Amino acid sequence: MPDQTSQPVNPATRLLNLVIALVNTSVSMTKQQIRTSVAGYADAPSPEAFERMFERDKDSLRDLGIPIVTVDAGGHSDDVGYRIDQDAYALPAVDLTPAEFGVLSLAAQFWQDKTLRTDISRALTKLRAAGAGEIANDAVAGLAPRVRAVGDAYGPLLDAIEALRAVSFTYRAASTGEVLTRTVEPWRIAARRGGWYLLGFDRERRAPRAYRLSRIEGRVRLLGRGGAFAIPEGVDVDALLGARAGSEHEARLAIGPERAEALRARGRSDGDGTGEGAGPRQDGRDVVHVAYTNAHTFADEIAGYGDAVVVLSPPELRDAVVRRLRAAARLGSAVHLGAGAAAGVPTPSPTDRSTDRDGTSTTTTEEQRG
């Protein structure tokens, strides 16, 4: 008899319990064994109700592609057993190239949520144990994500987009610093220019707007019921963010050979008049033109490459990069001086050196200093 004091098991949990039981049985399980040992089937008030419940569950699992097979013991019908065909159910071996595993490792760095980060770490550890990432680090050496942490707003906004529910949140404007409450019909979340953005319809302004997630303060509140609006087809992410960030500019950069591949991929090269390829300068660098809209964000990115990239124009972008490199040099010098003084070891005087993305120290060139 079922325990009248216990809470009934919901159907999804019962299905999962059945899968676990049939995967782990050594030979097969009879209906009687399933009813007495699998959590959820004791809720059936009668043998007939159990039969109907079990038949529905078998059909549901088979519809999901889980191969439940019948094992006939050759005797009474009560001896008929059930199990899951392991050969048909098991996933094939994971066979990732070093480059593919490297991309997964790089993508994992985007996620800062504690629970998700733990799950990703466990998954990558299992892939390494299977031999998927023996030399993966070489495939992504020198690369680092350009997108900062997602933040607490990401999860609730993603839920709101899926449910088509409006949201309300407190937002600090970048231009004025003013903090206001926004009510938005969320459409999409996108990563651009080193940050995450929400795209949606602002109900107060009655127009599409983009909001940077890092400027959302406090909790995101979901409003009303689901299905409250429809997401337009073909939302142009770049158009919305481009209009928000201002007009587009073009930088002329001198990039060292085989360096800063992310910048090269986004730009166009100065031809040398002989077909494809970049036109090398006298110092051996390639001249590349890269479009940008936000000078501050682009200067952050360029400075991260250290001496690999020299800004030729425009002057204001060049100055912004130089300021960042000099600040990095001063910071690096202060750290080295402090460590040397603590150890009693002489340290070099501050020089124009900066810290690159991979942690190595690089000298700022005369050309970059101007």
326 close to 300: Cβ distance less than 8 angstroms: no
313 near 252, Cβ under 8 Å?
yes
- Rounded CA-CA distance 368/347 in Å is 25
CA 185, 190, 196, 197 dihedral sign is negative
Q: What is the enclosing helix (H) or strand (E) of 212?
A: strand 207-212
pLDDT, mean of residues 259-280: 66
The span from the CA of 81 to the CA of 24, in Å, is 14
Between the CA of residue 185 and those of 205, 299, 305, what are the distances in Å?
A: 12, 33, 38
Backbone angles phi, psi at 257, to 5 degrees: -55, 130
Q: How many CB atoms lie within 10 A of CB 75?
A: 8
Return the higher-pLDDT residue of 243 and 87.
Answer: 87
183 closest CA partner among 173, 172, 170: 170
Residue 53 has pLDDT above 70, yes or no: yes
pLDDT tens digits, 218-227: 999 999 999 9
Residue 76: predicted pLDDT? 58
pLDDT category of residue 236 using cuts at 50, 70 and 90: confident
pLDDT tens-digit map of 6-38: 677 888 899 999 999 999 988 899 999 999 999
Q: Is the pLDDT score of 154 beyond 80?
A: yes
Is residue 233 predicted with pLDDT exceeding 80? Answer: yes
Query: What does the pLDDT read at residue 171?
Result: 94
Burial 135-147 (b: 16+ CB within 10 A, else e): ebeebbeeeeebe
**18 vs 262, residue with greater confidence:** 18
| Edge-to-edge order in the sheet of strand 249-255 | 268-269, 286-292, 249-255, 309-313
Which residue would you say has higher pLDDT here, 348 or 183? 183
Burial (Cβ within 10 Å: 0-12, 13-18, ≥19) of residue 280: middle
Structural domains in the chain, CATH included, are 11-89 (1.10.10), 98-139 (no CATH), 154-245 (2.30.30), 249-369 (no CATH)
Angle between helices 47-63 and 11-24 (to 10 degrees): 80
Cis check for the bond before 257: say yes or no (omega within 30 of 0).
no
Q: In percent, how much of the chain has pLDDT > 70?
A: 69
Quickly list DSSP for 8-70.
Answer: PPPHHHHHHHHHHHHHH-SS-EEHHHHHHHSTTGGG-SSHHHHHHHHHHHHHHHHHTT--EEE
- Which are the contacts of 298, defined by CB distance < 8 A and separation ≥ 6? 193, 251, 292, 317
What pLDDT, in 10s, does the model give residues 184-225?
Answer: 999 999 887 667 899 999 999 999 999 989 889 999 999 999
What backbone torsions phi and psi does residue 81 show, to the nearest 5 degrees? -115, 170
Query: What was the pLDDT predicted at 184?
Result: 96
Residue among 176, 231, 234, 185 nearest 206 (CA): 185
Give the model's confidence band at 342: pLDDT under 50 very low, under 70 low, under 90 confident, else very high: very low
> What is the Cα–Cα distance from 269 to 122, expressed in whole angstroms?
42
d(CA 337, CA 349): 8
The answer to which of 3-12, 23-32, 144-153, 244-253 has the lowest mean pLDDT is: 144-153
C-alpha 321, offset from chain centre: 28
pTM of the model: 0.40
- Residue closest to 358 by CA, chosen among 49, 184, 137: 137
Determine which of 268-282, 316-330, 336-350 has the lowest per-residue pLDDT on average. Answer: 336-350
- Taken as a whole, the chain contains a residue count of 370
Is the pLDDT higher at 361 or at 145? 145
- Rounded Cα distance, 201 and 335, in Å: 47
Which position has the higher pLDDT, 245 or 161?
161
Summary count for the chain: helices (H), strands (E): 13, 14
Cα–Cα distance between 352 and 306 in angstroms, integer? Answer: 11
Among 162-166, 238-242, 265-269, 352-356, the least confident range: 352-356
